[in-house]
Structure 1
């Protein structure tokens, strides 16, 4: 059995070779921690978004969706704490001129100690690191790096600068003349666009608490460390829902969304052992409960979604900074209050990677081997491919007619190049659930062969039943019910 590091390399190579993810600006040698989604990657990403939006907005009468702007008033980021507090502790190696996150260097050393069986030493280092991070003790972090003789991975030297804070927000300037007052930021999260529109949505949608606002959108963070492919990027996409509740009921709703969100992930049919909850030992100052849903990637368990009980922090901050009341009048209690918020937040790119890792399968067959992406049919980029057995005798015409009858409802492909076996392998590699083969018998009795991706079993069916068969198997109902 291959090791997990090699498996992850194979997954990255496959994603590029088959048009899922490309390094951005590759012909110019790329841009660090930025990626482009190829033709199948874009389809898979859109299908994940559709699944989330349907589960959140369509299936819940009290949740509605918005699409807020990327550029927002700079005061918003002061109110949210991002201007003063959205920092990472960075350290530079003077010889390699490379910059690292101090906590990441220490995390790597902790992982090394654990691998070597030095669990007590690892636990002690973790405790010290977390204490210094919480106290914002930058010199303490440098002291730990020196004490544990951590060297730069590039130069191999321990010639370090001091640790200093580095703000993760991208700033730019707005307007024809660029003065100091014209600074705006690319949003580092989508949540604030929801909070500042709380009253707009509540009033125009006549929403009664409890209710939620959902949004899918791009966010930007000036990550210095590019890690683990599309796990940590500078430009990424989030799927977030902020659920506004009556103060005092927030922990009940927190428990509800914690359970509901894990159910959403497991509906895709992964190995349940690869998912777990990870409760936050230390909470953000505004939270009274927080948990991550973690997925076991080839490089270990990592967060794919967070559920947070944010209290009334965000709306209260915007009320204070804007001078506008961010309150809800509750007719049952006959009083105004600032609602509490439960947040569910997924990194779409991380979700994409978890779906891809879960689907990626290397199979040894009787006389052959194959790499197959076993996506849930509802998420598969291509739902079915039509394959004429040969390029002559009217088979392509028949195949095209079938293709035309199905492409209005399903994302279809047509392929007549190479042997039928090679074409099957190509479709396995992009995760197409069904291959429809048109042969000479099809011309006689209007039947075709459907080959099922996972089992590789084939069945003969009438052409007129194709729409119902495919429709039933790729339907969103299979997930949403």
Structure 2
């Protein structure tokens, strides 16, 4: 990876400097593994989610949308197995620091370092570790105004179960029959000890999940279909194919509900790590909720005159992880006129700002005309006006937030109504009539795009 200059430290610094992402509650010292998204981060997240919705809904006829509640009936989690089986083996330092750690993480690190995983000690102070105990990962809370009489409920650890318990309702009103999917994006919460690595794993996170319901005999076909679809989604949005891979799970990795799973993995600076999983969940979830709710959850096949419980293929992605992968893959540095230019080569449809508009100087009517152009270009996407500092510094600011095009109003604009359009990646500057700008940028956003960063 000689051509890659990106590190996690550089990504974290850029995100804080430009207001993409920064620690939550920072004035109070922050809270572990919790982050806030600033203006550009929010815009980037929304663009990532919009592209996912486009791939699931706009480009297909066999997926419908859902937004299920974060707090579900407690029996949902009993039936799904989360109350009994959704836990991590934690150990506590018996030495000075008293911190808790995931035993499996410590053992994996020991193996990578060539050490005996049975002899791990506290990585913080070197103290002896307690025997492992299982801790449930769900956040618990209460419904009710008086604690003694309140009912215990849980914040959902995944969005999938809301889809399963609403399956009968959606089936009845959507006029769909398997094979079809139900998709949703929403917040999930897991009270797990995380190894950091910025927004890769956090306590509160947003998921993009789709449950695709199929006749049992078609599960293999659709499993292969969705593996390829999800891999291609990243490459179509500019991620270099040689930094992606599909890795099937070994038998000992499979979740209790899965007969087969493959992860789409990305080569982060921390190594190959999961972006999203594609799992064949079989009929486990619908069968469990059918038993738990004492109701039949099945489909009638008019062709065969038979009833069956659909199998489920699940592509499940994290918004934060996808966003981090796009940021890492887009980050670049290059020397321009003796200076190092930092640039985010984001796919234009993901870029927080599509076009930035500048006046060359703050006089002669240039600011007023530049603002008019900015307002006209709003129909193309998010725009930004900037008149602060030298033009070179303004270009550099936009490079760091990934803006693909900048428009500069200058003295010539007032004479012939043409502007300078600067391309982020090629640095090419061309004169374009003001009246042609909307069509120009709309056309560019509709085109296929390939990252100019070289494959390794």
TM more than 0.5: yes
How far does residue 7 in structure 1 lie from its aligned partner after superposition? Answer: 1.8
2:235 to 263, 266, 270: 266
Residues 132-177 of structure 1: CA deviation (Å, up to 9, x unaligned)? xxxxxxxxxxxx432xxx23222123x1111110110000000223
Measured in 2, the distance between the counterparts of 1:181 and 1:415 equals: 53
Indicate yes or no: 2:431 matched with 1:460.
yes
Partner of 1:27: 27
Task: After TM superposition, list the pairs within 5 Å mapping 1:179-190 onto structure 2.
Answer: 179=148, 182-190=151-159
Partner of 1:128: none
Measured in 2, the distance between the counterparts of 1:394 and 1:6 equals: 41
Residues 86-138 of structure 1: CA deviation (Å, up to 9, x unaligned)? 0000001112111100000011112212xxxxxxxx8xx7xxxxxxxxxxxxx
Change (3 A) 1:340 1:179: farther
Partner of 1:135: none
How far does residue 249 in structure 1 lie from its aligned partner after superposition? Answer: 1.1
Measured in 1, the distance between the counterparts of 2:152 and 2:146 equals: 11
Partner of 2:315: 344
1:154 to 124, 129, 145: 124
Partner of 2:105: 104
Indicate yes or no: 2:218 matched with 1:249.
yes
Partner of 1:134: none
Aligned residue pairs total: 446
How far does residue 57 in structure 1 lie from its aligned partner after superposition? Answer: 1.1
Q: CA RMSD in A?
A: 1.7
TM-score of the superposition, structure 2-length normalised?
Answer: 0.95
Indicate yes or no: 2:384 matched with 1:413.
yes
How far does residue 179 in structure 1 lie from its aligned partner after superposition? Answer: 4.3
Any conservation in 2 of the 1:223–1:232 contact (CA below 8 Å)?
Answer: no
How far does residue 285 in structure 1 lie from its aligned partner after superposition? Answer: 2.9
Partner of 2:118: 145
Indicate yes or no: 2:161 matched with 1:192.
yes
Partner of 2:146: 177
Measured in 2, the distance between the counterparts of 1:178 and 1:328 equals: 42
Partner of 1:204: 173
Residues 157-212 of structure 1: CA deviation (Å, up to 9, x unaligned)? 3x111111011000000022334770000000000000001011111011111100
2:334 to 339, 363, 380: 363
Measured in 2, the distance between the counterparts of 1:174 and 1:478 equals: 49
Residues 14-57 of structure 1: CA deviation (Å, up to 9, x unaligned)? 11110100101111100111111110000000000000001001
Measured in 2, the distance between the counterparts of 1:3 and 1:87 equals: 40
Partner of 1:137: none
Measured in 2, the distance between the counterparts of 1:3 and 1:467 equals: 35
- Show structure 2 runs of 5+ residues with no match: 450-456
Change (3 A) 1:73 1:409: same
Partner of 1:46: 46
TM-score of the superposition, structure 1-length normalised?
Answer: 0.90
Partner of 1:296: 267
How far does residue 223 in structure 1 lie from its aligned partner after superposition? Answer: 1.4
Any conservation in 1 of the 2:5–2:332 contact (CA below 8 Å)?
Answer: no
How far does residue 389 in structure 1 lie from its aligned partner after superposition? Answer: 0.4
